Amino acid sequence: MKYIDENIPFDKCVQVSGWNRSRFDIALLLDALDWELLTMSVHIGDFNNNKSITVTHKKSHMKLQFIDAENLFGPMTLKACVEDYGDKSEHKY
């Protein structure tokens, strides 16, 4: 990817949220991504209990932040989390 003016900083982060996904994210990141172009820059938690992992592309500086909502909200079901923290509109789940 080439930019017209490479002196202009580009710092964009795309957040990927999920429920109970931390163990799947680390497996995906370690096995499937091309580490010559990527770095794992921010890692909150440990490999067994991840809260957030940020992967940065070395050339474009584009970031993917994988967030495990279950680890952030604590031990509860997805349904209980939606009832407690949702927008209170009617959803069927």
| 50, two tokens | 């991840």
Residue-level pLDDT at 67: 83
Quote the pLDDT of residue 7: 72
Please write the tens of the pLDDT for every residue from 6-57: 676 667 888 888 887 766 767 777 777 777 888 876 667 666 666 788 888 8
Q: For residues 36 and 27, is the Cβ–Cβ distance under 8 A?
A: no
pTM: predicted TM-score of the whole model, two decimal places: 0.64
